[in-house]
Structure formats: structure tokens, C-alpha cells
């Protein structure tokens, strides 16, 4: 078993809770309360915008052979932001005034703190975690769907064959990186992967229940 597969087993309770979050089920069966998807859209737009900075920092620390694929991913993230902008227009959502919610802000800061204070292997682990989380989550929605959704473009985007290939490639790279890591670093990678799964859970929770600064 590769390291990436072992990570998923180690954090199985958190990963399962993330996938079984009602936000995903309700997105799939069309029972999501009004406005909830729009909350997710606004917050994830900010998440992706800030994620571009995280990936930029990751590139600065990456071995040379990883710079090009990671650089191309930054371009893909800019196209992804256009998808958010076009869906926002369709749904009548104003993205110009969005502020990050506490959870969105904390998750983005967690990513940035990781890439600035931890090893490349640890930083790559959280990157893989966030990408894998979205692939698994939206693939789960797609599997549960029995009717087309108004949010189909997002569902299809993160459950596509090309995104699957990207996430598989990240898993292979992580497996290779892990072979050169000592036992203590591997342990820290597992802890960071668990934290990533927990943030992903909280992100769905924030979308469903709302999450605003109290003051
Ligand atoms: C991703 C995302 C996937 N857009 N939002 C969250 C909260 N987690 C993961 O990342 P990407 O970079 O949009 O594929």
C-alpha cells in the first residue's frame, strides 16, 4: 500500500464524516435549503483565490521537476475562478463584496502557515488532501444524483476524468516523496492530512449552517 492510501485509512473517521455531510447529500438530491449553495459558492471563490497564493509558495519550495505541473495548475485555478464568476452571474450572486467567513479564513491561513513553516513534504500533503477531498466529495455527489442539478457544472468539474487523473498523479508524487521521509515527518504528514479533512468537513458545515463573524 502506498503512503497516500495509508493516509486515507488513518483518517477514515474524518474522511467519512466529510463525505457523509448533509450538504453533499442535499446537493445531490436537490433538497438543499435556499441560499446554502450560494454561501458555499461565495466562500469557495475566496478559498480558490487564496489557494493560488498557497500553490505559488509551494512552487517556490518544490523540486524543479514539479514546478511546471504545479505552475500549470495555477493557470487552471484562474480558469476555475472564471467558472465561479459565470455561475455566480447565473445564480445572481454578487462576488464583489464577499468577505471570508471564519472557517474559510482559518482554512486558507492553515494552508499558508503550513507552506511557510513546515517541510515541502508536509505542505504537499495538505495540498493533496484538499484536492483529494474535492474529488471524493463531488464524485460522491455525482454518484448519488438521480436528476440533473442547477449546480451541475461544479459537480462535473471536480468529478471529471481529467481531475481524477490530476489527483491520482498527486497521490503518486506524494508516495514517492514519502519514501525519503523519516518516521517523525511521516507522522506529522498524517496529522496535517487529518487537519485538512477536518477543515473540509467544517467548510461543508459552514455552507449549510452559515458562519459569520459575531462582531
Ligand atoms: C478545493 C476547493 C479544491 N476548491 N475548496 C475547498 C474548501 N477545498 C478544496 O481545490 P481546487 O484547487 O479548487 O481544485
pLDDT band, very low/low/confident/very high, at 211 (cuts 50, 70, 90)? confident
Answer whether residue 59 shows pLDDT above 90.
yes
Mean pLDDT, rounded, of the chain = 97
- At 145 the pLDDT is 96
Helix 36-61 and helix 22-29: axis angle, to 10°?
Answer: 120
CA of 129 to the centre of ligand 1 (A): 10
Q: pLDDT tens digit string along 186-207?
A: 999 999 999 999 999 999 999 9
- Residue pair 37/89 in contact (Cβ under 8 Å)? The answer is no
CA of 148 to the centre of ligand 1 (A): 22
How many residues are there in the chain? 215
18, 43, 51: which to mutate for ligand 1, most atoms within 8 A of CB? 51
CA of 127 to the centre of ligand 1 (A): 9
Share above pLDDT 70 across residues of the chain, in percent, rounded to a whole number: 100
Atom 8 in ligand 1: which residue has the minimum CA distance? 130
Average pLDDT over residues 101-127: 98
- At 35 the pLDDT is 93
Answer whether residue 2 shows pLDDT above 90.
yes
- At 12 the pLDDT is 98
CA distance between the termini of the chain: 48
pTM of the model: 0.97
CA of 179 to the centre of ligand 1 (A): 26
Amino acid at each position: 500500500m502506498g503512503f497516500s492510501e495509508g493516509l486515507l485509512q488513518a483518517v477514515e473517521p474524518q474522511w467519512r464524516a466529510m463525505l457523509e455531510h448533509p450538504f453533499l447529500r442535499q446537493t445531490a438530491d436537490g433538497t438543499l435549503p435556499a441560499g446554502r449553495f450560494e454561501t458555499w459558492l461565495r466562500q469557495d471563490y475566496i478559498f480558490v483565490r487564496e489557494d493560488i497564493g498557497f500553490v505559488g509558495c509551494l512552487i517556490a519550495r518544490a523540486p524543479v521537476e514539479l514546478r511546471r505541473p504545479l505552475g500549470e495548475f495555477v493557470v487552471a485555478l484562474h480558469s476555475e475562478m472564471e467558472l465561479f464568476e459565470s455561475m455566480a452571474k447565473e445564480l445572481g450572486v454578487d462576488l464583489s463584496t464577499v468577505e471570508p467567513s471564519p472557517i474559510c479564513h482559518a482554512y486558507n491561513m492553515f494552508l499558508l502557515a503550513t507552506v511557510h513553516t513546515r517541510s515541502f513534504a508536509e505542505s504537499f500533503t495538505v495540498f493533496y488532501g484538499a484536492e483529494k477531498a474535492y474529488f471524493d466529495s463531488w464524485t460522491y455527489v455525482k454518484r448519488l444524483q438521480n436528476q440533473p442539478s442547477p449546480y451541475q457544472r461544479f459537480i462535473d468539474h471536480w468529478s471529471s476524468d481529467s481531475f481524477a487523473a490530476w489527483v491520482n498523479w498527486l497521490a503518486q508524487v506524494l508516495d514517492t516523496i514519502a519514501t525519503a521521509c523519516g518516521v517523525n515527518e511521516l507522522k506529522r504528514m498524517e496529522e496535517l492530512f487529518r487537519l485538512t479533512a477536518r477543515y473540509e468537513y467544517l467548510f461543508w458545515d459552514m455552507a449549510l449552517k452559515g458562519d459569520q463573524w459575531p462582531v
